[in-house]
Chain A
């Protein structure tokens, strides 16, 4: 039992060290929240993607709903099962997607977009801050989920780097035929960039992998947390956040259509419309995440 004599004290020591260093993070926005002194009205459960969604919910929305006597339980889930989980009644709401993605949902239980909350800016980031101009032959990484690949390619296409092959679109005009394992076969680089190449990676891998490529098309929230403090210095170019694009790609709170008029949904929408959420988001995420509220309870985004 010699091993345990070494391991247990070592373990205890590390625990102490870790607790001592706890929560030394920066980016703390000071916002005043009032307290609630009535009977608890219950728990609102929301599943969300890790960043920035779960962070926004935990750091700010939880305190806003607490002012009205609700508690918020946030569960991080893979985004691919979040709509299904809400449809099965496992959570009151989810927070990860934009309206175009929700429109593709084909489950038996109809879902509803309760409100728009934020927009994440997509930029091309350079690995080397001294070589930020895209050159012919550069290797570019981008996300591998098809719902976001089109947007990444449009960023390159609007900057005259490549054109998106029409074969990616099916007969309904939706971007369905893209092959994430062969992205270079799905686009045509302009002559000035004909030696460039694309590689699709999982979103969480984009930042750690950037040194293996020359450029990365990385969603703003991921870049901000993943590339360190000089992330803004790496931006080669980014999306023009037009009002139309911000509204279209804004991330939403989704509930079941049946729960559209429930008190919990109203409470979530109310919290998301609070100006303090705007203050929190701009103070925490800067330019990379833009607060954008639109009330879905008064206008059905899915109908449009």
Chain B
């Protein structure tokens, strides 16, 4: 292992994690909002829609990531032109594995907004649309940002499946090293360095998320 391959593996991992997290949020946030407002105590209760969306989310969340990758191989091939060998071939399966999770995280964050606050704004004549954007999303921003760090970290964990599909990344590179030196892999620095880089990345995501969340939290009076 040299610095170049460590850097390649790092950007492959970051590429897989951050881009699929971004794609997952593009779909997950609207889906989470829909789940929240159509729920029984939501702004616009709608049992059938809530049920159908809930079933889709639960179904996708139940399929293990490894199976999802195999099932989605034809779709991946159709969209990106190939199914294995490059980090970007993992984006579609990782997106499908994470957007339902993200939707639930978003739904949960929105549910934390006190109902009294919504009632107060509604009594002032705000429309549902205004409540969603100006109250629900605005008030839950710290929680949403904190949740996005948690989501990104769990997607980073999913990138370990990239090994079997030649998609690279830090975890694959550690596992490949282990496969080549199964007898004495722990006496080399390689696996330890990779673990350290992963720990640093996770810490950066976690601390960065918390920091942003704290910064955007208007609820705190005394800091």
Chain B contact residues, CB within 8 Å of chain A:
1-3, 6, 73, 77, 82-85, 163-166, 176, 178-184, 188-190, 192-193, 196-197, 200, 203, 207
- Asked whether A104 is an interface residue with its Cβ less than 8 Å from the other chain, the reply is no
A84-92, A134-142, A144-152, A284-292: which one contacts chain B? A84-92
Q: Which residues of A contact B178 (CB under 8 A)?
A: 204
Complex contact A19–B3 (CB within 8 A): yes
Beyond A77-B84, A88-B82, A88-B83, whether A18 also contacts B183 by CB under 8 A is no
The smallest beta-carbon distance between A239 and chain B, in angstroms, is: 21
Q: Which residues of B contact A77 (CB under 8 A)?
A: 84-85, 164-166
Closest A-chain residue to B85, C-beta based?
A75
Complex contact A18–B189 (CB within 8 A): yes
Q: Which residues of A contact B192 (CB under 8 A)?
A: 14, 18
Q: Which residues of B contact A88 (CB under 8 A)?
A: 77, 82-83
How many Å lie between the Cα of A14 and that of B179 in the bound state? 22
Q: Which residues of B contact A28 (CB under 8 A)?
A: none
- Asked whether A267 is an interface residue with its Cβ less than 8 Å from the other chain, the reply is no
- Asked whether A39 is an interface residue with its Cβ less than 8 Å from the other chain, the reply is no
Q: Which residues of B contact A76 (CB under 8 A)?
A: 163, 166, 176
The 8 Å CB contact of B165, one of A17, A55, A81, A91, is A81
Q: Which residues of B contact A90 (CB under 8 A)?
A: 82-85
How many Å lie between the Cα of A238 and that of B77 in the bound state? 43
The smallest beta-carbon distance between A205 and chain B, in angstroms, is: 9
B interface footprint on A8-25 (CB within 8 Å = 1, 0 otherwise): 101100110111011000
The smallest beta-carbon distance between A238 and chain B, in angstroms, is: 19
The 8 Å CB contact of A75, one of B3, B84, B190, B197, is B84
Complex contact A228–B180 (CB within 8 A): no
Q: List 11 A-B contacts (CB under 8 A).
A: A14-B193, A15-B193, A51-B180, A81-B73, A81-B83, A84-B73, A88-B77, A88-B83, A204-B179, A227-B183, A228-B184
Complex contact B184–A21 (CB within 8 A): no
Complex contact B183–A47 (CB within 8 A): no
Closest B-chain residue to A7, C-beta based?
B200
Closest B-chain residue to A205, C-beta based?
B182
Complex contact A21–B188 (CB within 8 A): yes
- Asked whether A173 is an interface residue with its Cβ less than 8 Å from the other chain, the reply is no
How many Å lie between the Cα of A76 and that of B169 in the bound state? 12
Beyond A11-B197, A22-B2, A90-B83, whether A225 also contacts B164 by CB under 8 A is no
Complex contact B179–A51 (CB within 8 A): yes
- Asked whether A3 is an interface residue with its Cβ less than 8 Å from the other chain, the reply is yes
Complex contact A85–B193 (CB within 8 A): no
Besides the known contacts A18-B193, A47-B166, A78-B163, 16 further A-B residue pairs in the complex with CB atoms under 8 A apart: A3-B203, A7-B200, A11-B200, A18-B189, A22-B1, A22-B2, A75-B166, A76-B166, A77-B166, A81-B73, A85-B83, A85-B84, A88-B83, A89-B82, A204-B178, A228-B184
B interface footprint on A176-207 (CB within 8 Å = 1, 0 otherwise): 00000000000000000000000000001001
Considering only residues 148-183 of chain A, those with a C-beta below 8 Å from chain B are: none
Closest A-chain residue to B182, C-beta based?
A226
Chief secondary structure at chain B's binding surface: helix
Q: Which residues of A contact B207 (CB under 8 A)?
A: 3-4
How many Å lie between the Cα of A90 and that of B85 in the bound state? 8
Closest B-chain residue to A78, C-beta based?
B164
Q: Which residues of B contact A91 (CB under 8 A)?
A: 85
How many Å lie between the Cα of A17 and that of B3 in the bound state? 12
Considering only residues 70-122 of chain A, those with a C-beta below 8 Å from chain B are: 75-78, 81, 84-85, 88-91
- Asked whether A38 is an interface residue with its Cβ less than 8 Å from the other chain, the reply is no
How many Å lie between the Cα of A90 and that of B176 in the bound state? 21
Closest A-chain residue to B193, C-beta based?
A18
How many Å lie between the Cα of A227 and that of B185 in the bound state? 11
Q: Which residues of A contact B73 (CB under 8 A)?
A: 81, 84
The smallest beta-carbon distance between B182 and chain A, in angstroms, is: 4
How many Å lie between the Cα of A84 and that of B82 in the bound state? 11
- Asked whether A275 is an interface residue with its Cβ less than 8 Å from the other chain, the reply is no
Nearest 10 CB-CB pairings of A with B: A78-B164, A226-B182, A18-B189, A75-B166, A228-B183, A77-B166, A90-B82, A50-B179, A18-B193, A75-B85
The smallest beta-carbon distance between B113 and chain A, in angstroms, is: 31
Beyond A3-B203, A11-B196, whether A55 also contacts B2 by CB under 8 A is no
B interface footprint on A218-248 (CB within 8 Å = 1, 0 otherwise): 0000100111100000000000000000000
Q: Which residues of A contact B181 (CB under 8 A)?
A: 225
Closest A-chain residue to B69, C-beta based?
A81
The smallest beta-carbon distance between B197 and chain A, in angstroms, is: 7
Beyond A77-B166, A81-B165, A88-B83, whether A19 also contacts B2 by CB under 8 A is yes
Q: Which residues of A contact B163 (CB under 8 A)?
A: 76, 78
Complex contact A208–B166 (CB within 8 A): no
Q: Which residues of A contact B189 (CB under 8 A)?
A: 14, 17-18, 21
Closest B-chain residue to A222, C-beta based?
B182
